[in-house]
Structure 1
């Protein structure tokens, strides 16, 4: 059972708590703010009044503006942009001009021109005395002795400011009042000066514009003079360099005896080209001759007949002619041999002719072969001769080319120096001719006029912003305080967070007397309180209509939540219908005897359990109900409540009374309530509205549920009805604050029915 109890508690409490945390009730937030509307309004009104006083005390600031047109590109009189860097570069150029307008040099120029060091608005010697003279306090207290370093002159030295220091401070203050505002995408810019003195502001704006233009002219003149001086010195250097280059070129020509290098190179190149062509032909001829020579050499071992079969020999016309004669002689011998014998004169003559033809052919073959060998030797010699000539021409050309390259290099150096010298000479003449002409890249479009309307402070806007911030702060603080007030303020919160029914609420009472609070129901001086008690009684009775709760324990989280008041008044309400016994079980801080002025030493619950008094001696009857006070406070209250004698006493009292109401100690103070809950049929938990923290209540209820206590419901005590209505909590379902409601009377009638039915058997038993 103990292990399952925490799970039951989480199941009952956690879901609704998570749902309530995830949802934002805007209506509730609005009601919270609306409840504090007068506090928020007071805060807004106070801040607004302070803001009005502050803006009225602020010195008005006037703004004077002069318009300047900044040319995208200044006039190029000197025309050497690489030297000056004056050529326009779009937005970067304009941004540069804007920074020049805000430069310290220009500001110092205006400060000197207008003598602002003596102006009351800038001169620190004419400033009003501060409310707290920190300097005077520090002068009386020598702090320098306490520090390991030396203080600046303002604190540790002379208090008088030097002229240079004053000028620097005035310049810094003046720069802070300058603003440069471009006009859209145009080249027009406004130079604005903010000052308390409108006339001085206009003079300063115009002085800035004029000073910027004059500064541009002076800078142009200075740069022209600087450029002229620089070009004069540079021109002398270029002249010397040109003279050195020309001398070096002439010396090289004389040393190499060069007159017309271009012509020599051209002739030599033509000869080299012709020699190359001839060498190519010689190589081709040598290759052909070598081929024939190789063929002839390969056929020498086979006799002249094989030499005659060489294509180069065979193709010779004479060889072909002699071969034809040999063939005719051979054919003739062949023909005669068929007709005559070998010794025939015709055959002999034919053979002689054939031998002569063969000898002639052989001789001719040998001559052709010798001619081939001679041609090959001539081709080789011709090729070698041409190769030597080509190599000689090529060496000569390379030597001339090297001289030509060196000569041209010297010539280029001379030409470059001459060109640079001529350029600087021309620019120097232009600069000298135009040095007395000044040109600026800006001009004034509109001079600044004396402003008549201040630009700041914007009083209405400041006051409106202050009021708006005060409103936001007020609303934020209200919501923050409401969020930090983590207490139960309505029945819906109790039911959602604890998942327990609310039997009723009790309104906040004006009286704080213990005796009056205990008799509020019986005296019926507060109708709303009496109706609230009846509503709680109805809820208690109806919650146990099938199984009446005889023993009821009433407890709370901490002392001071009104559980004793609820116990007493609920017991009186139940006593109108049933036999009721009220027991003060808070043995540590008993209240029942004090509330009803019981005599000192009256025996009570502690005496009954300890056996020092009988039941009749402990019971006191007050206004129709029986009461047992705490009695003599024991040193061990928990042991008494845990004893078997107390349990037996409760069992005996159950048979004597219809309802037993036990006033228990708080759950967070001691564990007596847990012990008492084991003997009870129901437990009512009292929560003080807008006072007891929610986690404390959840912890107390959780402890009881973990011990299987029969927690049946909650009573929300000390509810400020009017304040609750402002928060949007409605309790019409519980009771009518201005009289008896029909719902309450009906519930009361239902509550009497079971009491009457129960009284009848008791009468029969009696």
Structure 2
């Protein structure tokens, strides 16, 4: 029957390797298993190899340092371990080292496994890889042999039980047949025929009697036939039951024999398999002793090191650039702030502040002075906007050149404006005296306290062409002073007397003075030092003005270094600021 399955298949006892992913992963783990690696360790005596047994390696500096420290503080050494425990720890550590050195992978879309070992010796690596493959194949044979032995043992026990059951069934059949009369289906047919004949004779004689031809003798004969009929009927019924029971016993005996013969055949097959076992895997190629070490590879290491160094350097430069984020071009400054760059001022070659104004007066055609003229043009001829009269100059931090820029712009404005006033709004530092020297005129506080009039307090120098109102030490907070009604009145008075008022204010990120004064101004110039002021600082300063409703008019990129521009590759865009001979310096 093609729909029936055999009771027991040989593969139930000996599963074969298939290409299923689960089987592949299982075999990969078998190749890395502790039991298989333990066989390799034992056969290769790796516990005696310092490369695999850490206990045989010389103590490192860290171990010596720890032991020395323990000795110094008086910690007694640990008691010696039992030999068995030492051997067990050595075996465990060696297996772990071997597993770390082992590389096993499955070739994609195949049942091929690659085995590799990385050691300090080429021949050792090849030997251990071959030994591991050999032990893996032997393990497969041993596993199959053990499975076959288990199958043989089980089948032997099963056959013995089935043999007893068969003998019992056949004995019961024979015993039952011996106790009964010789019966069969043919015998029952004969008895049934005899019963039919008896019944026919009874019917014939009964018909004769019914016609009135009967005699006493005929009636007696009918009675005899009826007795015979009853005996035959009883005998047929009894033998039919015995025949059914006998056939049942024979069927049970036949079934027991069939099962017994099946398992007996499987037992013989299994016994034969014990001598012809083969591993599911085979060795395709043995490991060869490598000619070139897998690591380190000098050429590859050099290439990777160079690439890594370049990558790290690039990342470092990017990070450094991102952290500093300074401005080297007007385009970058305008893009970051969204404000127009009103001027780009080169560094003035004057070491001391008192020499700055001398340089501006003596070199009217120099690059810095020409840059201030450009700043003046941008500020006072910006489209249809009204000409600013009160201009605030500020920056993010000190040292960005806003004061020099304020004074230079004032000097430049004297050529186009009749009267220009510069107010020192940085009352904390008061650096104007570094530019102009000592003076005996009253300061801003004298004007605010009405002890002096504005025209009495300003300092005039015919060489410069503009007036200066010096700041002096304020008894109150400077921001409060600039918020006062008196200072607003001072600005209104200055507007009546001067064409342009320039107010030099402190850095906006340090004190709020510039924001307070900015509310009285027509324009706010925000100075940004070239390659120095960070983008974050500039944006914070501009936002600080916006919080009080003051809009910064534009920015000025100051103290530009001509050589630095060339270094960063911007020299062609901005010229050499006087070094090319275009400007007379």
TM-score by length of 2: 0.72
Shift of 1:594: 3.8
Structure 2 residue aligned with 1:133: 63
How many residues are treated as equivalent by the alignment? Answer: 529
Structure 1 residue aligned with 2:323: 484
Q: 2:89 aligns with which of 154, 157, 165?
A: 165
Q: State the distance in 2 between where 1:217 and 1:674 align.
A: 90
Matched, 1:466 2:314: no
Shift of 1:629: 0.6
Q: State the distance in 2 between where 1:626 and 1:228 align.
A: 120
TM-score by length of 1: 0.57
| Secondary structure class of the residue paired with 1:162 | helix
Q: State the distance in 1 between where 2:544 and 2:39 align.
A: 84
Shift of 1:463: 3.4
Q: State the distance in 2 between where 1:729 and 1:402 align.
A: 122
Show CA shifts across 1:271-301 (max 9, x none). Answer: 9xxxxxxxxxxxxxxxxxxxxxxxxxxxxxx
Q: Contact 1:587/1:634 (CA < 8 Å) preserved in 2?
A: no
Structure 2 residue aligned with 1:585: 425
Higher normalized contact order (CA 8 Å, seq sep 6+, divided by chain length): 1
Question: Following superposition of structure 1 onto structure 2, how do residues 109-508 of structure 1 map, counting pairs within 5 Å?
Answer: 109-133=39-63, 136-137=66-67, 140=70, 158=80, 162-180=86-104, 191-219=115-143, 221-249=145-173, 259-260=183-184, 404=244, 410-428=249-267, 446-508=285-347
- Structure 1 stretches of 5 or more lacking a match? 1-78, 146-154, 272-392, 745-766
Bigger CA drift: 610-619 or 431-440? Answer: 431-440
Q: CA RMSD in A?
A: 4.7
Structure 1 residue aligned with 2:555: 714
Matched, 1:81 2:10: yes
Q: State the distance in 1 between where 2:359 and 2:431 align.
A: 16
Question: Following superposition of structure 1 onto structure 2, how do residues 541-580 of structure 1 map, counting pairs within 5 Å?
Answer: 541-543=380-382, 548-578=387-417, 579-580=419-420
- Structure 2 stretches of 5 or more lacking a match? 1-7, 196-232
Q: State the distance in 2 between where 1:511 and 1:409 align.
A: 130
Assess, with a 3 A threshold, how the Cα gap between structure 1 residues 663 and 238 changes in structure 2: closer, same or farther: same
Q: Contact 2:441/2:457 (CA < 8 Å) preserved in 1?
A: yes
Show CA shifts across 1:226-277 (max 9, x none). Answer: 5444443333222222223334445666899793369869999xx9xxxxxx
Q: Contact 2:393/2:504 (CA < 8 Å) preserved in 1?
A: yes
Q: State the distance in 1 between where 2:328 and 2:263 align.
A: 95
Show CA shifts across 1:595-647 (max 9, x none). Answer: 32224x74212112212234454222333332221134332545554555545
Q: Contact 1:527/1:738 (CA < 8 Å) preserved in 2?
A: no
| Secondary structure class of the residue paired with 2:62 | coil
Q: 1:686 aligns with which of 527, 531, 534?
A: 527
Q: State the distance in 2 between where 1:123 and 1:173 align.
A: 7
Q: Contact 1:192/1:205 (CA < 8 Å) preserved in 2?
A: yes
Structure 2 residue aligned with 1:108: 38
The structure where helix makes up a greater share of residues is 1
- Give the number of the structure whose alpha-carbon radius of gyration is greater: 1
Question: Following superposition of structure 1 onto structure 2, how do residues 531-680 of structure 1 map, counting pairs within 5 Å?
Answer: 531-543=370-382, 548-578=387-417, 579-599=419-439, 602-615=441-454, 617-622=456-461, 623-624=463-464, 625-635=466-476, 637-638=478-479, 640-642=481-483, 645-654=486-495, 656-677=497-518, 679-680=520-521
Q: Contact 1:587/1:606 (CA < 8 Å) preserved in 2?
A: no
Assess, with a 3 A threshold, how the Cα gap between structure 1 residues 170 and 80 changes in structure 2: closer, same or farther: farther
| Secondary structure class of the residue paired with 1:85 | coil
Q: State the distance in 2 between where 1:251 and 1:192 align.
A: 71
Q: State the distance in 1 between where 2:362 and 2:470 align.
A: 21
Question: Following superposition of structure 1 onto structure 2, how do residues 717-756 of structure 1 map, counting pairs within 5 Å?
Answer: 717-724=558-565, 736-738=577-579
